[in-house]
Amino acid sequence: MTNSAPDRALSGGFSDMPVEAAQGFRSVLDALSRPGSIVRLNGATPPAPMSPAAGAVALVLLDNTTPLYLAPGHDTPALCAWIAFHTGAPLVSAETAMFALGTWPALQPVSRFAIGTADYPDRAATLIVETDRLDSSGGRLHGPGIETSARLSLPEIAAFRANHARFPLGFDTLFTCGDRLAGLPRSTQVESD
């Protein structure tokens, strides 16, 4: 078996789309509705540097109606081909993206991303942030979905505080690390301790 670029683009998707997408969505829904909780997301094997969890998010949520921004490092030909084949999402600039994928440093400045409008706060970007580390330590979280408080290893605090300060505007974030995922909606208050 060769593993040429076209082969790689065609493989690595869900083997049973309706069922795996349903399972994947519930994991994402669980993560976003309970900020700080970490869920597992399997089934996708995208080309590096995209993590399996981010790959599954792409298969669950992206299609030809969702403009996607690939940050530097994730805009490789192999990954572009994989996303094109499996989702058909058009690749666009950061300012017009509905979804964005990359590491936290590569996504900077995050002020570029759509935060919705006062009339339509839902027209905001979802950032898929690839991290090396994802655990229940670090920034303290309060807000909807959290019974008392939770902790999540965030790449920084200030940007997420500023993002929450604009509520109901703001972007929403999914953190991915290997096959694990956590959610941080704009409704969550973030404190350094």
Partner 1 sequence: MNDYNFAYLDEGTKRMIRRAILKAVAVPGYQVPFASREMPMPYGWGTGGVQVTAACLRPDDRLKVIDQGADDTTNAVSIRKFFQRTARVATTERTGDATIIQTRHRIPEAPLSEGQILVYQVPIPEPLRFLEPRETETRRMHALQEYGLMHLKLYEDIARHGEIATSYAYPVQVSGRYVMDPSPIPKFDNPKLSNCPALQLFGAGREQRIYAVPPYTQVISLDFEDHPFVATKAPHACDLCGDDGSYLDEVITDDAGRRMFICSDTDHCNSRRAAGHVGALTGDAA
Residues near partner 1, by CB under 8 A:
17-19, 21-23, 25-26, 28-29, 32-34, 60-63, 65-66, 118-122, 124, 126, 143-147, 167-168, 172, 185-187
Q: Of the two residues 37 and 153, which places its CB atom closer to partner 1 in the complex?
A: 37
Residues 170 and 115 sit within 8 Å (Cβ to Cβ): yes
d(CA 23, CA 5): 29
Q: Which helix (H) or strand (E) segment is 176 a member of?
A: strand 172-177
The neighbouring-strand residues paired with 81 are none
| Least Cβ distance, residue 7 to partner 1 (angstroms) | 24
Asked if residues 109 and 171 have their Cβ atoms less than 8 Å apart, the reply is: no
Q: CB 38 → partner 1: shortest distance, Å?
A: 15
Nearer to partner 1, 51 or 126 (CB): 126
Q: How far apart are CA 87 and CA 83, in angstroms?
A: 5
Q: Cα(52)–Cα(70) distance, rounded to whole angstroms?
A: 16
Closer CB to partner 1, residue 112 or residue 142?
Answer: 142
